[in-house]
Amino acid sequence: MEVRAIFESLTAQPYTENPFLSLYLDWVPDGSGKRQAPRIVEQELQRIAERVAEHGVARQSFEADRQQIMAYITTDAPEDARGLAIFACHADGVWHTLPLRVRVETAIDEDRYPHLFALAQALDDNETYAIVLADAQESRIFVAALDSAVQAGETEAPEQIKRFRSGKAQENDLLQHRTDNIIKAHTKDIAEELGQVMARYDVRHVVIAANDSIKGIVMGALPDTVKEKLVDYVHLDLTATLAQIVEELAPTMQRVEREQEAAIVAELEEQNYPDGLGVAGVAATALALSKGQVRALLIGRSFAGAGGECPTCRSLRAGQRLHCPYDGTPLRHVDLREALIARAAQQSAAIEIVESSDYLDQHEGVGALLRYRDNERAVQ
């Protein structure tokens, strides 16, 4: 949740005249136990230094950021992180360090705004999961998010289940009835605890790991709001560590993400017609974002493009046009991929970064689902 809050704050960051540094670092040691990121960062920051003016506020800001970044990655960055994201602009008071639970590809950019595509991609690929490990007697509830995986709750049956069986059928029937009631009471507690965890951590998906003997009772105890987010019911060792649990469920998480991508692309294909709630292609998507129509941005993982943004009316344009067609203001050149991501987040639109899609490829790698239709054409 902290990562998403920082992501949203960065998308609202005003354009600056000072160097804004965006770093994504693969923080996993290599085969010799060493991390390559510090050396790469040091070299790349030196290259950036050669582009920044030797004197003035911009240089002072950059040098302050360089010193702070190197101090962080050599001394303060968590050893157990697998990826790091760092955003810095000393002159504008920006300093964010985000240790991540997942690896990211090392990339270092200096611009006049934060580069957020890689963070949006990580957020999209690593939505928050609640994982319930349960048996008849106890349960543990874990939450796995982009920045961490933690135990967030636990339950215990109201009393110990007795396994003794006598030779008398009536006594055994009473014992079984008592056991069933204990399990039912416990599963109700699990459902209540899970609901609280889901609300607290903004959980998007739920996985339950329990044996088949209590599956029916557990499923019966779950409210519809939980069932809607249940993506799998699996078998896991109830003594498994959190790291083992997350590793075991990685294929499930990847499958769910691919299914979501396929579903939203199919919706776009269905809605992309003259009066439908969908548009595809760079120009149409940029126009829809300029007018605040977008409820979901779909963008291919390999999408790249240059564009312009009007500082006055804030319209987005694809390509290298020099002036805004609406008011004649000189356009500010932007990385179009970054501009589309930022604008979508500013409008609270969902962002779906698609691994692979023939349909998107046929439409320049980008499209959008709309909140409303406005058939006004862009000024050429």
Which residue ranges make up each domain of the chain? 2-125, 129-240, 262-370
CB 311 within 8 A of CB 332: yes
Over the stretch 30-40, which tens digit does the pLDDT of each residue have? 989 999 999 99
* pTM (2 d.p.): 0.89
Distance of alpha carbon 352 from alpha carbon 357, whole angstroms? 12
- Architecture of the domain delimited by 2-125: 2-Layer Sandwich (3.30)
CA angle, residues 310, 298, 233, in degrees to nearest 5: 145
Contacts of 261 (CB under 8 A, 6+ apart): 352, 354, 355, 357
For the stretch 72-77, contacts whose Cβ atoms lie closer than 8 Å and that sit 24 or more positions apart, written own/partner, are 72/97, 73/25, 73/37, 73/38, 73/41, 74/38, 77/27
DSSP label at 330? B
Tokens standing for residue 363: 């439409």
Q: Is 164 left (phi over 0), alpha (psi -120 to 50) or beta?
A: beta
pLDDT at 172 over 80: no
When the pLDDT of each residue in the chain is averaged and rounded to a whole number, the result is 91
Which phi and psi angles does 113 have, rounded to 5°? -160, 160
Over the stretch 246-276, which tens digit does the pLDDT of each residue have? 888 999 999 999 999 999 999 999 999 999 9
Tokens standing for residue 133: 């490990």
Give strand pairing partners of 280: 367
Contacts of 194 (CB under 8 A, 6+ apart): 130, 132, 141, 153, 206, 222, 226
Distance of alpha carbon 140 from alpha carbon 98, whole angstroms? 27
pLDDT on residue 137: 86
CB 69 within 8 A of CB 86: yes
CATH topology agreement for domains 129-240 and 262-370:
no
pLDDT-based confidence at residue 369 (cuts at 50, 70, 90)? very high
The number of residues in the chain equals 380
pLDDT on residue 183: 83
pLDDT-based confidence at residue 360 (cuts at 50, 70, 90)? very high
Q: What is the CA radius of gyration of the chain?
A: 25
Distance of alpha carbon 170 from alpha carbon 155, whole angstroms? 31
pLDDT at 135 over 90: no
CB 148 within 8 A of CB 82: no
Q: What CATH fold (topology level) applies to the domain 129-240?
A: Nucleotidyltransferase; domain 5 (3.30.420)
Over the stretch 87-97, which tens digit does the pLDDT of each residue have? 999 999 999 99
Distance of alpha carbon 21 from alpha carbon 338, whole angstroms? 14
CB 51 within 8 A of CB 58: no
pLDDT on residue 376: 61
- Architecture of the domain delimited by 262-370: 2-Layer Sandwich (3.30)
CB 143 within 8 A of CB 150: yes
pLDDT on residue 167: 59
DSSP label at 222? S
Distance of alpha carbon 145 from alpha carbon 126, whole angstroms? 6
pLDDT-based confidence at residue 168 (cuts at 50, 70, 90)? low
Task: Count the Cβ atoms, other than its own, within 10 Å of residue 88.
Answer: 23
